[in-house]
Amino acid sequence: MPTKTPLKYPHRSGNIPAVTHTRAFNSTTAAPPGFIEQLLNKIPLPRWAVYAIFAAGLLLLLVCFLCICVKCCCKGKKKRKKQEEKIDLKGVNGSSTTALVQPDADDLEYGSRDKQKGRILYSLEYKAETSELTVGVKEAAELKAMDLGGTSDPYVKVYILPNKSKTCETKVFRKTLQPAFNEFFKFQIPLAELNESTLVMQVFDFNRFTKHDIIGELRLQLGTIDWNHVIEEWRDLTEASKFEQENLGDICFSLRYVPTASKLTVIILEAKNLKKMDVGGLSDPYVKVQLVLDKRKWKKKKTSVKKKTLNPYFNESFNFEVSFDQIQKVQLVISVWDHDNMSRNDAIGKIFLGCSASGNQLRHWADMLSNPRRPVAQWHSLLSAEQVDNALALKHALKIPFTKKPF
């Protein structure tokens, strides 16, 4: 009977403990030691060198593995951070997506050094039979960059002075200094009025979360234009005039004065196109009706708050006792405010009427006085609160420096 072990360990054939030991060894790792041994023998390098190479390889693998681990962890963290940012931005404005929000990081002031505002291509056509003026806002070029990225988000506002009964706006063009608007606006204006009117085209830079910046404007005296032809030309924009920089909205109210009863009745009817004051793009307007006498606040009343609207309808009536003597000196201040639950209410716009007023406001006041007992209603464009407060120069409100609010 042939045996297997004597071939391998011939010198220990009779030694039983040694055999049992060998068997135990063989049954578990019998093949590998032989195989590895053979492999190692085949390598033409000293044994220590082989071990060193093996150790170095192992170390290299370990380092690679660690690197991959660290990279994966970092990516995870960044992703989580981005997601948190996204959530935060959504919290600020539910309606806007991050794609829309992110470009606005460069809506910050760019501060161009040169005074070049850019040019605008417009067209004008007047049809006397229908009293219709068509204003074409066609293109703009070389506009001043207002944002950090060296671009602007231009749009154009068009209105006619002195009445400013209607303000039109083009669409906003994102990130360009040469927008092609190609929009046309129609204004109803009789020929007699046309000659005393001024057409204003103002180019603005749109910003999502801050006040829109005016880039420049063009004012055309319509009385100097030859209406026999359609006009189309390029003109340079100029620096915008200090006031009328933004459209704050319009308000309609009626005035009635009964001298025999010393009664002044103000009916706040409605407002339209009010400036957006809240993050959601709306306002919560209410109207304050004040009387100022001898540069002091005298009497004050206010309407209810209309929630989330830019075109509120009030139809609320207020009576004041004002003698015939006082009506000559009194000033009626109408201001529209945005109500806020969490912070101070903001003034949207203001106007004042009285014998010391001017333009449209003076006309309304004079109409009321010359038509006693009859209500006279009229629309008015709101002006900035600063502008009106300055004109009124109230005694108690003499703030030392006049500084324009940031927005």
CB 382 within 8 A of CB 186: no
Cβ-based nearer residue to Ca ion, 205 or 389: 205
Instruction: Kindly list the distances between the CA atom of residue 93 and the CA atoms of 86, 283, 367, in Å, as whole numbers in the listed order.
Output: 11, 15, 46
SS3 assignment, position 229: coil
The encoded tokens of residue 361 equal: 């406001």
* Footprint on this chain of Ca ion (rule: CB under 5 A): 107, 147, 153, 205, 207, 278, 284, 338, 340
CB of 148 to Ca ion, least distance (A): 9
In whole angstroms, how close is the CB of 109 to Ca ion at the nearest point? 10
Q: How far is CA 272 from the centre of its chain?
A: 20
Q: Is the peptide bond before 44 cis (omega within 30 degrees of 0)?
A: no
CB of 407 to Ca ion, least distance (A): 14
Nearer to Ca ion, 163 or 309 (CB): 309
Nearest to 107, CA basis, from 64, 150, 75: 150
239 vs 278, beta carbon nearer Ca ion: 278
Smaller CB distance to Ca ion: residue 182 or 210? 210
What's the min distance (Å) between Cβ of 336 and Ca ion? 12
**Which residues are CB-neighbours of 347 under 8 A, at least 6 positions away?**
335, 336, 337, 338, 385
Cβ distance 274 to 249 under 8 Å? yes
Alpha-carbon distance of 402 to 156, in angstroms, equals 29
Task: Give the integer Cα–Cα distance in Å for 85 and 67.
Answer: 27
CB of 97 to Ca ion, least distance (A): 17
How many residues are given for the chain? Answer: 407
Would you list the DSSP string of 252-272? EEEEEEEGGGTEEEEEEEEEE
Nearest CB to Ca ion, comparing residues 295 and 307: 307
Q: By C-beta, is 135 or 214 nearer to Ca ion?
A: 214
- CA dihedral 323→302→212→168, nearest 10 degrees, is -70
Contact indicator for 393, 292 with CB cutoff of 8 Å: no
Closest CB 174 distance from Ca ion, rounded Å: 8
CA distance 316 to 310: 17
Give the span between the Cα atoms of 69 and 114, in whole angstroms.
Answer: 53
Q: Minimum CB separation from Ca ion for residue 377, in Å?
A: 27
Cβ 230 to Ca ion shortest distance, Å: 33
* 196 vs 340, beta carbon nearer Ca ion: 340
Closest CB 369 distance from Ca ion, rounded Å: 36
Q: Which is nearer to Ca ion, 220 or 348 (CB)?
A: 348
Please give the sequence-ordered ranges of beta strands (E in DSSP) within 339-384, or none if there are none.
346-354, 376-381
CB-wise, 155 or 185, nearer to Ca ion?
155
Beta-strand ranges (E) seen in 19-68 are none
